[in-house]
Amino acid sequence: MKLLKRILFIFFIFLVVLIGLAVTIPIIYKDRIVEMAKEEINRTVDAKVDFTEVNLSLFRHFPDLSFLLKNFEVTGKGDFEGTLLAKGEAADFSFDLLSLFSKTSPITINSIGLRKPEINVLVLENGKANYDIAIATDERIEETNEETDYSGFKATLKSYSIEEAKITYDDRSGDMFLEIDNLNHKGSGNFTIDVFDLKTKTDIEALTFRMGGISYLKKAKMSLDAIFNIDQTNSKYTLKDNLIKVNALQLKADGFVQLAEEDILMDLAFSSPQNDFKSLWSLIPNAYIEGYEQVKIDGQFDFSGNVKGTYNETSLPGFRIKTNISNGNVKYPDLPLGITDINAKVDVNSPDSDLDHLTVDIPRMGFRIGDNPMDGRVKISTPMSDPAVDGLLNGVIDLADLAKAFPVDGVDEMSGLITANVKMKARLSQIEREDYEAVDINGEAEISHLKYDMTGYPAVVIDQSKMAFSPKMVDIASFTGKLGKSDVTASGHIDNILAYFSPKKTMTGNMVLRSDYIFADEWMEEEPATATATTATTQQALGAAPETAASEEIFDRFDFRVDAKINKLDYYEYQLTDLEAKGQIAPNRMDIDEFAMKIGGSDLEGSGTITNAFEYLFDEGTLGGKLRLKSNNFDLNQFMTESGEIPENSGEASVNTEALEPILVPENIDMTIDADFRKIIYTNMTLNNLDGQLVIAPDRSVTIKDATAETLQGKVKMTGGYYTADPEDPKFDMNIDLEKMDFKEAFSTFNSFATLAPIGKFMTGTFTTNMAMTGSLGKDMMPVYSKLNVEGFLHTINGLITEFKPLNAIGNALNIEELKGKMAVKDSKNWFTIADGKVEVKEFDYAVKDLKMKIGGSHSLENEMDYNIKTAIPRKWLDKAGLGNLASSGLKSISEQASKLGLNIGQSETVNVLINLKGSITNPKVKFSLLGLDGETSIVDAAKETVKAAVDDKKEEIKAGLSEKAQKIIADAQVQADKLKEEAKKSADKLRAEGETAAEKIRSEGKTAGDKLRAEGQKQADQAKKAAEAEAQKQLAKATNPITKAAAQKVADRLLAEANKKADSFVTEADKKAAQLEAEAEKRARQTTDAAETNAQKIENEADAKADKIMADAQTQADKLK
pLDDT value for 946: 58
pLDDT value for 342: 94
pLDDT value for 507: 82
The letter for the amino acid at 934 is D
Q: In this model, does residue 642 exceed pLDDT 60?
A: no
Q: What is the DSSP string of 1004-1056?
A: HHHHHHHHHHHHHHHHHHHHHHHHHHHHHHHHHHH--SHHHHHHHHHHHHHHH
pLDDT digits 0-9 by tens, 571-594: 877 889 999 999 998 877 889 999
Can you tell me whether residue 959 is helix, strand or coil? helix
Angle at 764 between CA 759 and CA 767, to 5 degrees: 85
User: When comparing pLDDT for 271 and 18, which is higher?
Assistant: 271
End-to-end CA distance of the chain: 145
Give Cβ neighbours of residue 560 (< 8 Å, ≥ 6 apart).
Answer: 492, 507, 508, 509, 510, 511, 584, 585, 586
Q: In this model, does residue 325 exceed pLDDT 80?
A: yes
Can you tell me whether residue 806 is helix, strand or coil? helix
- For residues 1052-1063, average pLDDT: 77
The beta strand positions in 619-730, using DSSP E, are 623-631, 634-635, 669-682, 685-697, 701-711, 714-723
pLDDT value for 143: 45
pLDDT value for 640: 64
The beta strand positions in 875-970, using DSSP E, are 910-919, 924-930
Backbone angles phi, psi at 706, to 5 degrees: 50, 50
CA–CA distance, 285 with 834 (Å, rounded to integer):
68
Give Cβ neighbours of residue 680 (< 8 Å, ≥ 6 apart).
Answer: 631, 633, 634, 635, 636, 686, 687, 690, 709
CA–CA distance, 880 with 875 (Å, rounded to integer):
8
Instruction: Spell 145-177 as b/e; 16+ CB within 10 A means b.
Output: eeeeeeeeeeeebeebbbbbbbbbbbbbbebbb
For the CA atoms of 1033, 1036, 1038, 1042, the dihedral, rounded to the nearest 10 degrees, stands at -170
Residues 52, 53, 54, 58, CA torsion sign: negative
All structural domains of the chain with their residue ranges: 964-1120
Q: In this model, does residue 29 exceed pLDDT 70?
A: no
For the CA atoms of 282, 286, 292, 294, the dihedral, rounded to the nearest 10 degrees, stands at -120
Can you tell me whether residue 145 is helix, strand or coil? coil
pLDDT value for 546: 41
pLDDT digits 0-9 by tens, 73-129: 888 887 788 788 888 888 887 876 666 555 556 666 778 888 998 989 888 877 778
Can you tell me whether residue 904 is helix, strand or coil? coil
Give Cβ neighbours of residue 31 (< 8 Å, ≥ 6 apart).
Answer: none
Long-range contacts for 437-442 (Cβ within 8 Å, ≥24 apart)?
439/471, 440/471, 441/469, 441/470, 441/471, 441/497, 442/469, 442/470, 442/471
CA–CA distance, 838 with 862 (Å, rounded to integer):
9
Q: In this model, does residue 1074 exceed pLDDT 60?
A: yes
For the CA atoms of 1052, 1053, 1058, 1059, the dihedral, rounded to the nearest 10 degrees, stands at 70
User: When comparing pLDDT for 562 and 929, which is higher?
Assistant: 562
Q: Distance from CA of residue 1039 to its chain's centroid? A: 33
What percent of the chain stands above pLDDT 70?
78
CA–CA distance, 630 with 636 (Å, rounded to integer):
14
Give Cβ neighbours of residue 12 (< 8 Å, ≥ 6 apart).
Answer: none
Alpha carbon of 612 to those of 574, 591, 1060: distances in Å? 24, 12, 17
Backbone angles phi, psi at 306, to 5 degrees: -155, 155
Helix (H) or strand (E) run with residue 139 in it:
helix 137-144
Contact in structure between 895 and 873 (CB atoms under 8 Å): no
For residue 679, how many other CB atoms are within 10 A of its CB? 19
The letter for the amino acid at 6 is R
pLDDT value for 958: 54
Question: Average pLDDT, whole number, for the chain?
Answer: 79
pLDDT band of 744, cuts 50, 70, 90:
confident
pLDDT value for 899: 63
- For residues 791-805, average pLDDT: 88
Alpha carbon of 685 to those of 650, 652, 679, 704, 709: distances in Å? 8, 6, 10, 18, 12
Beta-strand pair 118-123/107-115: unpaired
Q: In this model, does residue 883 exceed pLDDT 60?
A: no
Residues 284, 287, 289, 295, CA torsion sign: negative
